[in-house]
Amino acid sequence: MIIPAFDLINGRAVRLYQGNYLNQKHYDINLSDYLEKYKSKRIQIVHLVDLDGAKNRENRQIELFKEILSYSTIPLQIGGGIRTTKDINTLLDLGVKRVVIGSSAIHDKNKVKKWLKIYGSDAIVLALDVYINNNNQKEIYINGWQKRTNVMLEEIIEYFLPSGLKHVLCTDISKDGTLLGPNFKLYKDISSSFKNINFQASGGVATLEDIISLKKTGIKSIIIGRSLLEKKFTIEEALKCWQREL
């Protein structure tokens, strides 16, 4: 599945280079027009990142999400600063389909385990950002990629599997926002190791060939942000590549 993505600061679409808030690129777009178009193309879900909320939970863009859900019926997956049960309830009560959990999956595992049980595996996405270290290990970084954890991707997935983990958004942080192409080996490895997990690949998609190659890895979904915003290809072309028989 193709999942279009928008990173939002103060209601505006932006892209951060390598997660750096000081390196922002702004896009002058009408979000409602994009969502309407994606709905007409039968996009199944759109990924929104609350960068304000990720930086400071007191500045979460709840009113914006409320407004979006008032005019659009396209299912939303939202992440950014979601760390409490109240945060999850607020978004799900608004009508958000899935919430994305990041750092808490590392430093508050028991709480996340409970969330998977309470809300169900379809409502929770774990966002696991990895850096391939010198030993070719998939090491997780948190807090906007600022903090190294010494925890490996496989270890976390194994931990949450008994709790019904189903959706994992995996980003190679060396690729995100670069348009340099995805880490195909990473996605092939994890797709073959955890066949029951619906992995969402994120980071580096620049061409239609990237989409075709990612599908061949066995990945279930591709999150695409910058390439669509900068019209490297159209949503119609992306969907056609994804639906193409291999």
Q: State which of 96-105, 138-147, 179-188 shows the largest mean pLDDT.
A: 96-105
User: Exposed (0-12), middle (13-18) or buried (19+): which is 86, by Cβ within 10 Å?
Assistant: exposed
User: What's the confidence (pLDDT) of residue 174?
Assistant: 78
pLDDT in tens, 57-76: 888 999 999 999 999 999 99
pTM for this predicted structure: 0.93
Q: Are 205 and 178 in contact (CB under 8 A)?
A: no
Domain that holds residue 14: 2-243
Q: What does the pLDDT read at residue 18? A: 64
- The encoded tokens of residue 219 equal 């990945």
Query: Which positions are catalytic?
Result: 7, 129
Residue 133 has pLDDT above 90, yes or no: no
Listed residue (114, 118, 121) closest to 98, CA to CA: 121
Residue 146, pLDDT score: 67
Residue whose C-alpha is closest to residue 184's, from 215, 155, 208: 215
| pLDDT at residue 23 is higher than 80 | no
Average pLDDT, the chain: 91
Tokens linked to 67:
């407004």
Mean pLDDT of 95-106: 94
pLDDT (mean) for 181-190:
93
Q: Is a pLDDT exceeding 90 seen at residue 181?
A: no
CB 131 within 8 A of CB 139: yes
**pLDDT of res. 178:** 62
Report the CATH number that the domain containing residue 38 is assigned in CATH.
3.20.20.70
Is 233 strand, coil or helix? coil
Over residues 108-115, mean pLDDT: 96
Looking at per-residue pLDDT, the higher value among 178 and 222 belongs to: 222
Q: Torsions phi, psi of 144, nearest 5?
A: 65, 35
Please give the tally of structural domains in the chain. 1
